[in-house]
Structure 1
Amino acid sequence: MNTRQSPLSRQITNLSIVFALALIAAVGFLGWWAASRIDDRSIARQARAVQTGLADIAARIPVEQNSSAIWDDAVLNLRSGNAPWIEENLTVWMSDYFGHDEVYILDSANEVTHAAHDGAASDPAAYETVRDVITPLVTTLRDAMAVASADESDSTASVTGLGVEDIVALPGGEPAIISLRPIVPSSDAVQQSPGSEFVHVSIREINDKVAEEISKKYAIDGIGYSQFDAADGDKVASPILNNNGRIIGFFTWVPDEPAYALIRETAPALAVALAFSALAAALLLGRLRRTSAMLEHSRAEASYLAFHDALTGVPNRALFEDRLEQALAHMRRSGAMVALHYLDLDRFKHVNDTLGHPVGDELIKAVAQRLSACVSDVDTVARIGGDEFAIIQVGLADTSLALSLAQTVVEVIGAPFELSGHEIRVGASVGVVATSDAASTGEELMRQADIALYSAKGDGRGRYHLFVDQMDENVRDQRGLEMDLRSALANEEGLGLVYQPIYNTLSSTIVGAEALVRWDHPTRGRLSPATFIRLAEDRGLIDQLGTWVLTTACSFAAGTSLPWVAVNVSPLQFRDEHYADRVFEVLEQTGLPARRLELEITEGLLLQNSPLVQSTLNRLRARGIRVALDDFGTGYSSISYLRTYGVDKLKIDQSFTSAIGKDQEIQGIVRSIIELGRAMHMLVTAEGVETTEQQRILASMGCDQLQGYLLSKPVSADALTETLASNAASPPTANLQPASRFTA
């Protein structure tokens, strides 16, 4: 038998071996290439993280300086040379709390007045060792301040926000971040002439401590600092550059190389399966590709989560602010208008309180979907917190397009939501600002949109307002009034109650009185209750104001022969599940029996159809407190609401009373209200009685009680006490026809 291989067989064998070797070489090369690519990306990500970490530290230093450098007290204490205060707030504290290695204060002549090193006061003479590297930065800052404040008597507004920061090599060769900020007043109370400013200098050395901070933050092990490029076969280096691009030093570390680690782990298996090298190579290549895909996916997912809201998937505040800057940059290039919409949901807290947070989360997601459907692909919808959203609208020809979108948003969010078996209605308030001014900044637009949103909410909610310059003044005025109201409540100064007597229609005797709050403002004079009560509701003060009114009224009534006192209650107070307990505490504190208290509510409260409201009203009435429905006839209450919630009295709104004797249709409505009250065993009080004709007609209709200027204007507590005493001494004689079978 001929065992020799034929030339063709040898050729095939040789070709097979060559092919196999070529395949192994190709697979090996491909594996090496894929591993290198993955690890190169990993190293690049780590290098970017290191540079980002250093940039974060550098960006944080001016912010930390400004926390004390923009302060009236800082300027005043520097001028007076108050060393203990300066150390505690500007030098030692800054060095110790924020970890600034060296802190210096330079006077207007650029001479050091105070210094700190490593959290302790130091000799200002130490500045001489770094003067040469700091002086160019001081010169740059002083020049910029001089230009900014030229021809001005007070430099504060011009130089606030200026600063110089760079990375330099200190005399010993080690790099450091040096930041200079002018020390300026924080208000107009302190004036500062150009050239007189003190300068705050902070030095943060870039050393192993900084490297360790970056290492912990970005989970990169073994970051170190070197003055020279210490990269070798194991380590990589990332340069530290100053503002001019000059290399000052290097960060070095042993990089994380996931692909090569994987190859090392699988090498024994590859050696054992040498006979199946081709298959193993293919499997390894496949695994490497999957690893690369997983890494890319992880990076993309991490990037997505960093810039998108986890609940809704729309951009978060970070991405929103970036998109806003991009929109402004595009506006400056193209000249097209950009609009910013701020909106939040009306009554969202009520949804959370009554239906729970899971339903609230579903509502937020549904709102985000509706908003996204309202805008074009080039616009941005972002969730910036809680129930607050923002929309960036770009490429507008005029303001009308922004207003059209705002109107659409109000309508779309105002439509009912079907969530978890509930029909939910919330609504939205929108603040809009539109501009094509190249000088506009993102921060300014956000502030203006927020002001417009506040104006929209203050005007009744469920609407939109376009920012105008006058709103700035209105907001400042409202904030000032808010602070004054807080002070008045805290000190119980300026606030007081007057009482309008309520008379029995039959006997003309006083059967009770309504307590009305008044505020004598120290500079604005007496303010309308509608003004400051609405303010108290908007700024979260209504519970405090309501408790004060209730306590004061009950204390007065308890010390007089007044049969009962009526107190108005805001619908917002009923959001507190403990409101009934608060009322009971006031009654116990003042000693007023529950039957001598009447609480006046509005029809809007009943329309909420809230189990909490119904429970609270039931508890109040069970204790003996009476409930009156104020301004009846102006809202939408139905008879079923009156029966469900339980009401003791209907008060006819004065707009109906004023039409009695003039408008037969209105007069018929009033008669119907009185008959409704009689049918449901409720007392009826007519408000705003101003003429004897109105009094006569109401008496003939059977109205139980009358209230108005004809009988008595609101009077002080002392005047009402005197009237009660006078009536007790000589009770009046009834002078009207029988009106009702009900008594007060």
Structure 2
Amino acid sequence: MSIRAHRSPLTFQVTMTVLALAVFALAMVVGFGFYATMQADRVSLERQKIFLADGLQDQIAAVEREQESITVWDDSVINAKAGNQQWMVENISVWMYTYYGYDRVYILDAANRPVHAMREGKVVASAVYDEDEPVLRATVERLRGLIAQPPDADQGPAKMVAEDLVSLGGKPAILSIAPLVPSSDRVTQAPGSEYLHVAVEFISDAVIGKIAKKYLLDGAHLLPLSQPVGAAAIPLIDSHGLIQGYIGWDQERPGLTLVRKAAPALILAVLVAASMLAFLLRRLRRASSALQTSQSEAQYLAFHDTLTGLPNRALFDDRLRRALLTASHDAVKVALLYLDIDRFKHVNDTFGHPAGDELVRQTAARLQQTIRDVDTVARLGGDEFAIILIDVRNIRDAEDVSERLQQELQQPFKLMDDQVFVSASIGIALSTGPEADADDLLRRADIALYEAKRNGRGRYQVFAGDMDDLLLRKRKVESELRKALAGGGGIKLAYQPIFAADGRTILGAEALIRWAHEIHGALPPQQFIAIAEERGLIGELGKWVLLEACRFAVGTQLPWVAVNVSPLQLRDAGFADKVASILAETGLAPARLQLEITESVLLENNDTTRMVLAALRQTGIGVALDDFGTGYSSLNYLRRHAIDKLKIDRSFVRLLDDDRSSAAIVKALIDLAIALDVEVTAEGVETEEQKALLVGMGCHQLQGYLLSPPLEPVQLLVLAGPSLGESEPASALG
């Protein structure tokens, strides 16, 4: 009994929830179906109204065209003015009734007096016109006004016809009045002496049916003003805005028709859904005990990391706030350690993600074994961990724990039957008093971790107050860099030429970015480039450098220009297309562009990077490996990526004069380049002795202050001579 009583609340809640959702879903479906039906019928009705309105206008236009066939005619002018009644009967009144179905025709003289009248196919006395004259007068006068207007030379001859919807004898009709005018130069008449042809066609059911038939509408008929009007009706409105009647029809309802046809299927679907719902409810009742049992497990999973079993971010936030609250009362401090595994991505790329997960699990176990039971280790995500130390007396206690953690993590990890050595960087922040805030403490530990990584990894760093100032300065530089890239100025390129072995022939030039800050002066490129990489600006900055360098090179006879590329740019799968777009925009040939990369790019062994480098070289762009000899690249990487040029780092060149080992290394690097059949450039050449040694070793591309410092574009043009800007290649440029 107790078990059933324990299950009932959960079962009841689940049952009511499912029923409520089912009712809500049914209401939504029915409501949406009703709304869709109404919308479909409404849209269809509006379309039907447009069809009939357009059809009515077409009918009025047809009356005008038919009337024009006899009003623009020499014989009409001659016989009407001659009063030839028989001719008018046979050609412009009874004939119009017989051929076009016009109900009434009047011929008016220049003074608007009737000279001929026809009704329903019979010639009648002209005096009957007086019955219709009050209704027709306004339209007649409007036409006389049009005739009296002088012609507009710009717009051409005006349309000499006046039409309207009128009511004659309580019946709506189409009225069209046109002057009788000659069709040739053989007949002339003085302006103002024109006779008028008045045509009246009643809007009968036959006329309406002809219009409706065109648009496949059923039951179209005339509705008098005295009859109630439904939704399927359009008014017949004259030029004064008065309604003369309505056209009604049997409304098409595609939405309702569809619902009626689909009703059996919908009813069947509802029955099937009800059966499934009943089945589901029975299963839910049976599963209530299992749900109750798993509630504690679900609660555990909500606050713990599934990979390591450590507290997750939610539980960490709660424990940190509780620890700070306790510390504010007991006058003790809380230390927060923010830990990150160094080069974790390299482990993932080298051994695979399963090995990376195993490294995280083993790291979590070591962290738990190292700290006290009262402290907390949490995994915040990826390879990031946070450790809460309570009852800390001073910062030295936190540093001691950090040292023990680093010693523990320096022991080898066994991953995939291999031993792997890693290190960790730790940022430390100490609570400052009763006003300590959890978010602020985590922010400080994060800043300290960043500084630890920036200063060499594998170490810990205690948060200091000036780190906040450093962060603010970085953000200010970031903001000003964005403004500069948006056209604010200050950023420019200098070009350091690269010479042949003779020290005079310029083979190309390397573009070097410079920023003359209006407040801080000349900022080191390493500083603001690092900020650009941190804050996601490197793509925009790199695009600007490429565009400026290509624009400069295309206006000179430089064989090529070299541009440094960030590893982050090469991780962009679309980078090769962006470079191609810049080359197309500036008109620079791909062979005249070299991109300089660092050895860290090859060390990453990233699929995207390999694809991008291959695409760049396929288009003809050269790829140079900068600062060669200072990284960890292997011959295997060099063969795999097919580099076009090696640039020997200046640190080796600087020691050539007095360090035999450096000379041996440089000679080996040059021989390696020759063996790989790639070009080689020595950077940082500053003395004649260095130059002579390098040339003797077989290096035929030199760069350094001995030959030329980085120059302004104009200075480079002067150094290379006047031929630099000529259309034909200059021999001084190689």
Normalising by structure 1, we get a TM-score of: 0.55
Please say if residues 556 and 725 of structure 2, whose CA atoms lie closer than 8 Å, have aligned partners that are also in contact.
no
Compared with structure 1, are the counterparts of its residues 677 and 715 closer, same or farther at alpha carbon in structure 2 (3 Å cutoff)? same
User: Using the alignment, how far apart are the partners of 1:679 and 1:689 within structure 2?
Assistant: 23
SS of residue matched to 1:619: helix
What amino acid is the match of 2:709?
A: K
Which of 618, 625, 636 matches 1:622?
A: 618
Displacement of 1:435? 3.8
Displacement of 1:533? 0.9
Higher radius of gyration, 1 or 2 = 2
SS of residue matched to 1:543: helix
SS of residue matched to 1:670: helix
Aligned equivalent of 1:323? 319
Displacement of 1:625? 1.7
- Deviation sequence 1:304-355 (CA, Å, 0-9, x none): 2332234543222222122113323443465554211223455667788999
Displacement of 1:300? 2.0
Q: Does residue 518 in structure 1 map to residue 531 in structure 2?
A: no
Q: Does residue 634 in structure 1 map to residue 627 in structure 2?
A: no
User: Using the alignment, how far apart are the partners of 1:447 and 1:610 within structure 2?
Assistant: 31
Please say if residues 554 and 565 of structure 1, whose CA atoms lie closer than 8 Å, have aligned partners that are also in contact.
yes
Aligned equivalent of 2:609? 613
Displacement of 1:503? 0.5
Displacement of 1:474? 1.0
Aligned equivalent of 1:65? none
Please say if residues 677 and 684 of structure 1, whose CA atoms lie closer than 8 Å, have aligned partners that are also in contact.
yes
Compared with structure 1, are the counterparts of its residues 417 and 488 closer, same or farther at alpha carbon in structure 2 (3 Å cutoff)? farther
User: Using the alignment, how far apart are the partners of 1:683 and 1:447 within structure 2?
Assistant: 48
Q: How does 1:188-207 map to 2 (within 5 A)?
A: none
User: Using the alignment, how far apart are the partners of 1:625 and 1:422 within structure 2?
Assistant: 40
SS of residue matched to 1:576: coil
SS of residue matched to 1:566: strand
Displacement of 1:702? 2.3
Aligned equivalent of 1:680? 676
Aligned equivalent of 2:378? 382
Please say if residues 561 and 724 of structure 1, whose CA atoms lie closer than 8 Å, have aligned partners that are also in contact.
no
Which of 377, 383, 390 matches 1:394?
A: 390
Compared with structure 1, are the counterparts of its residues 679 and 588 closer, same or farther at alpha carbon in structure 2 (3 Å cutoff)? same
Q: Which shows bigger deviation, 308-317 or 294-303?
A: 294-303
Which of 429, 447, 453 matches 2:449?
A: 453
Aligned equivalent of 2:554? 558
Compared with structure 1, are the counterparts of its residues 716 and 369 closer, same or farther at alpha carbon in structure 2 (3 Å cutoff)? same
Aligned equivalent of 1:338? 334
Displacement of 1:299? 3.8
Compared with structure 1, are the counterparts of its residues 490 and 427 closer, same or farther at alpha carbon in structure 2 (3 Å cutoff)? farther
SS of residue matched to 2:530: helix
Displacement of 1:560? 0.7
SS of residue matched to 1:392: strand
Displacement of 1:400? 3.2
Q: How does 1:509-658 map to 2 (within 5 A)?
A: 509-658=505-654
Please say if residues 336 and 430 of structure 2, whose CA atoms lie closer than 8 Å, have aligned partners that are also in contact.
yes
Please say if residues 429 and 463 of structure 1, whose CA atoms lie closer than 8 Å, have aligned partners that are also in contact.
yes
Displacement of 1:462? 4.7
Aligned equivalent of 2:368? 372
Please say if residues 508 and 733 of structure 1, whose CA atoms lie closer than 8 Å, have aligned partners that are also in contact.
no
Aligned equivalent of 2:486? 490
What amino acid is the match of 1:595?
A: A
Compared with structure 1, are the counterparts of its residues 311 and 690 closer, same or farther at alpha carbon in structure 2 (3 Å cutoff)? same
Normalising by structure 2, we get a TM-score of: 0.56
User: Using the alignment, how far apart are the partners of 1:504 and 1:397 within structure 2?
Assistant: 65
Q: How does 1:88-99 map to 2 (within 5 A)?
A: none
User: Using the alignment, how far apart are the partners of 1:474 and 1:507 within structure 2?
Assistant: 44
User: Using the alignment, how far apart are the partners of 2:417 and 2:574 within structure 1?
Assistant: 28
Identity of aligned residues (%): 49
Please say if residues 492 and 515 of structure 2, whose CA atoms lie closer than 8 Å, have aligned partners that are also in contact.
yes
What amino acid is the match of 2:478?
A: E
SS of residue matched to 1:389: strand
Which of 686, 702, 705 matches 2:698?
A: 702
User: Using the alignment, how far apart are the partners of 1:697 and 1:671 within structure 2?
Assistant: 9
Compared with structure 1, are the counterparts of its residues 465 and 367 closer, same or farther at alpha carbon in structure 2 (3 Å cutoff)? same
What amino acid is the match of 1:331?
A: A
Compared with structure 1, are the counterparts of its residues 423 and 707 closer, same or farther at alpha carbon in structure 2 (3 Å cutoff)? same
SS of residue matched to 2:721: helix
Displacement of 1:709? 1.2
What amino acid is the match of 1:578?
A: G
Displacement of 1:729? 10
Q: Does residue 662 in structure 1 map to residue 658 in structure 2?
A: yes
Please say if residues 507 and 732 of structure 1, whose CA atoms lie closer than 8 Å, have aligned partners that are also in contact.
no
What amino acid is the match of 2:657?
A: G
What amino acid is the match of 1:535?
A: I
Displacement of 1:722? 2.9
SS of residue matched to 1:620: helix
SS of residue matched to 2:504: coil
Displacement of 1:43? 12
What amino acid is the match of 2:639?
A: R
User: Using the alignment, how far apart are the partners of 1:512 and 1:681 within structure 2?
Assistant: 19
Compared with structure 1, are the counterparts of its residues 436 and 522 closer, same or farther at alpha carbon in structure 2 (3 Å cutoff)? closer
Q: Which shows bigger deviation, 327-336 or 648-657?
A: 327-336
User: Using the alignment, how far apart are the partners of 2:564 and 2:12 within structure 1?
Assistant: 69
Displacement of 1:723? 2.8
SS of residue matched to 2:337: strand
User: Using the alignment, how far apart are the partners of 1:346 and 1:601 within structure 2?
Assistant: 23
SS of residue matched to 1:341: strand
> What is the root-mean-square deviation of aligned Cα atoms in Å?
4.0
Compared with structure 1, are the counterparts of its residues 663 and 727 closer, same or farther at alpha carbon in structure 2 (3 Å cutoff)? farther
Compared with structure 1, are the counterparts of its residues 635 and 477 closer, same or farther at alpha carbon in structure 2 (3 Å cutoff)? same
Displacement of 1:712? 1.0
SS of residue matched to 2:693: helix
Compared with structure 1, are the counterparts of its residues 605 and 424 closer, same or farther at alpha carbon in structure 2 (3 Å cutoff)? farther
User: Using the alignment, how far apart are the partners of 1:640 and 1:295 within structure 2?
Assistant: 56
Q: How does 1:226-375 map to 2 (within 5 A)?
A: 297-332=293-328, 335-344=331-340, 365=361, 367-375=363-371
Aligned equivalent of 1:444? 440
SS of residue matched to 1:314: coil
Please say if residues 482 and 539 of structure 1, whose CA atoms lie closer than 8 Å, have aligned partners that are also in contact.
yes
User: Using the alignment, how far apart are the partners of 1:35 and 1:729 within structure 2?
Assistant: 94
User: Using the alignment, how far apart are the partners of 1:412 and 1:577 within structure 2?
Assistant: 39
Q: How does 1:709-728 map to 2 (within 5 A)?
A: 709-726=705-722
Please say if residues 499 and 516 of structure 1, whose CA atoms lie closer than 8 Å, have aligned partners that are also in contact.
yes
Q: Does residue 467 in structure 1 map to residue 489 in structure 2?
A: no
**Gaps (5+ residues) in structure 2?**
14-280
Please say if residues 717 and 725 of structure 2, whose CA atoms lie closer than 8 Å, have aligned partners that are also in contact.
no
What amino acid is the match of 1:716?
A: E
SS of residue matched to 1:443: helix
Aligned equivalent of 1:64? none
- Deviation sequence 1:508-543 (CA, Å, 0-9, x none): 210000000011222211100011111111222212
